[in-house]
């Protein structure tokens, strides 16, 4: 098959950031499918273009066999303010639509568009119409709800348009893929989408990167090189933005200065510098900030830690999401401090792979961590439980093959 994927934030296998689609497309390419990706040039966590994209409108890349990535211009005003973010969304719509119509030759069997941002659906619909090709709409996060709840989207006219356009895309899509059971329930009960039109391929763990590391990685030597060999290390991997509300980790760290607990926060985002300043003002020696690193190096940090934590702001919309990083922790046999209620909490509790922490409750966070400090064997057991559970139900390679069969059925 020849597949067009529209994903504004697509990252290559060895690039920092989310890797769901780079891992899926790699599996699909190995099955002799050809994938063309329309993606942006701006790293959404930092809001800047990498040097290789400076002064370019389009750039074609070939990261893997049978995969072509067409990078399209995105405004660097993403993290400036609301209007800047809106212009970043629509600048990609304009550039990616042009690229899809005039920079890529030949026909496609199917178009897949993954959201958020919701506005990438404009590109998908126009190309679908012109090229007479059906499209699958994938929901990685409920939008516009999540944008409204975090204060990113406040304009009433734009909110009204977003809800209308969301409904329009659901009607026009050949199939809608969701990443959590809660998304599916939301679409059926609140959006009036037929269950027969919905598929479920969730986020997952990439065991192809972790299996050999788990068995062969010299954890002691790596911990020593990082100067953390005497610490109980809790790692957070991901964005440092409004939705993540990482100040709750700083609040917790402040309560644990009498212990050997060290928080390692890995990633970037619009609030990162503010968090660094906050930690310095509080004189927190037990919090370490690390810039984004390639996925293969992320796993080294996780393996060198004692626990992982998944954290989001406290609101009802986030009860519907699976945190991507949770599966990375599971694949590395690390227990999880899950500061997200809803389906993420259910996942960890069913797997017996960690403990739920009430979001934005530093006292609860502190008490749960002290429990693990006093019961190290529980942490080891839960880490192993999570690994087995993820290997059974959330293996990226297995789910990618299931996904491509669903795509074939659409065609």
Nearest CA among 72, 53, 64, 71 for reference residue 23? 64
What's the rounded Cα separation, in Å, for the pair 391 and 385? Answer: 10
Contacts of 211 (CB under 8 A, 6+ apart): none
**Same domain? 173 vs 230:** no
Enclosing domain of residue 113? 2-204+395-410
Instruction: Tell me the pLDDT tens digit for each residue of 248-295.
Output: 999 999 999 999 999 999 999 889 999 999 999 999 999 999 998 888
Is the domain of 196 the same as that of 343? no
Gyration radius from the chain CA atoms: 21
Alpha carbon 210 to its chain's center: 18
- Is the domain of 138 the same as that of 229? no
Tell whether 239 and 345 lie within a shared domain. yes
Q: What is the pLDDT of residues 216-233, one digit of tens each?
A: 889 999 999 999 999 999
Instruction: Retrieve residue 314's tokens.
Output: 């406290």
Q: What is the pLDDT of residue 14?
A: 67
Judgement on whether residues 244 and 109 belong to the same structural domain of the protein: no
> Same domain for 306 and 165?
no
Are residues 244 and 174 part of one domain?
no
* Statement to judge: residues 257 and 148 lie in one domain: no
Longest Cα–Cα distance in the chain: 64
Neighbours of 311 (CB within 10 A): 25
Residue 246 and residue 364 share a domain: yes
- Enclosing H/E stretch for 3: strand 2-6
Are 179 and 140 contacting, i.e. CB atoms less than 8 angstroms apart?
yes
Question: DSSP letter string over 345-405?
Answer: HHHHHHHT-EEE--TT-HHHHHHHHHHHHH-HHHHHHHHHHHHHHHHHH-BHHHHHHHHHH
CATH number where 24 lies: 3.40.50.2000
The whole model's pTM is what?
Answer: 0.89
* 404 in the same domain as 369: no
State how far the Cα of 135 lies from the Cα of 411, in Å rounded to an integer. 10
What is the total count of domains within the chain? 2
DSSP string over 270-322? TTHHHHHHHHHHTT-TTEEEE----HHHHHHHHHTSSEEEEE--S-GGGGG--
- Looking at the fold, whether 220 and 120 belong to one and the same domain comes out as no
Q: Which residue ranges of the chain lie beneath pLDDT 50?
A: none
Beta bridge partners of 307: 234
What pLDDT is attached to residue 46? 64
Neighbours of 25 (CB within 10 A): 27
SS3 132: coil
Q: Where are the alpha helices (DSSP H) in 69-173?
A: 82-98, 120-131, 145-149, 156-172
The reply to whether 175 and 265 lie within a common domain is no
């Amino acid at each position: 098959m020849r597949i067009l994927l529209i994903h504004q934030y697509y990252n290559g296998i060895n690039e920092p950031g989310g890797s769901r689609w780079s891992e899926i497309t790699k599996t699909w390419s190995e099955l002799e499918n050809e994938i063309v990706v329309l993606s942006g040039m701006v790293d959404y966590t930092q809001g800047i273009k990498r040097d290789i994209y400076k002064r370019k409108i389009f750039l074609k890349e070939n990261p893997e066999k049978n995969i072509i990535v067409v990078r399209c211009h995105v405004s660097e005003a993403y993290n400036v303010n609301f209007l800047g973010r809106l212009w970043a969304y629509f600048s990609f719509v304009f550039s990616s639509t042009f690229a899809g119509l005039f920079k890529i030759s030949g026909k496609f069997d199917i178009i897949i568009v993954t959201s958020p941002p919701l506005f990438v659906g404009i590109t998908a619909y126009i190309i679908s119409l012109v090229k007479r090709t059906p499209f699958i709409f994938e929901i990685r996060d409920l939008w516009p709800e999540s944008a409204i709840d975090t204060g990113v989207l406040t304009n009433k006219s734009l909110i009204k348009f977003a809800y209308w356009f969301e409904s329009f895309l659901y009607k026009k899509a050949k199939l809608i893929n969701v990443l959590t059971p809660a998304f599916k329930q939301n679409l059926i009960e609140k959006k009036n989408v037929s269950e027969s039109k919905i598929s479920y391929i969730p986020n997952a763990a990439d065991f192809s990167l972790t299996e050999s590391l788990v068995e062969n990685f010299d954890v002691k030597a790596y911990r020593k090189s990082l100067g953390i060999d005497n610490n109980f290390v809790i790692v957070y991997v991901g964005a440092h933005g409004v939705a993540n509300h990482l100040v709750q980790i700083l609040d917790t760290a402040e309560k644990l200065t009498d212990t050997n607990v060290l928080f390692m926060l890995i990633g970037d985002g619009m609030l990162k510098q503010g968090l660094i300043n906050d930690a310095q003002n509080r004189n927190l020696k037990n919090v370490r900030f690390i810039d984004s690193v390639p996925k293969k190096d992320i796993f080294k940090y996780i393996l060198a830690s004692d626990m992982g934590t998944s954290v989001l702001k406290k609101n009802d919309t986030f009860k519907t999401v699976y945190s991507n990083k949770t599966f990375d922790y599971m694949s590395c046999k690390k227990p999880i401090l899950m500061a997200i209620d809803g389906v993420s909490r259910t996942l960890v509790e069913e797997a017996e792979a960690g403990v739920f922490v009430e979001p934005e409750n530093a006292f609860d966070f502190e008490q749960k961590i002290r429990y693990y400090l006093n019961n190290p064997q529980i942490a080891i057991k839960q880490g192993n439980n999570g690994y087995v559970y993820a290997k059974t139900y959330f293996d990226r390679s297995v789910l990618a093959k299931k996904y491509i069969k669903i795509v074939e059925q659409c065609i």
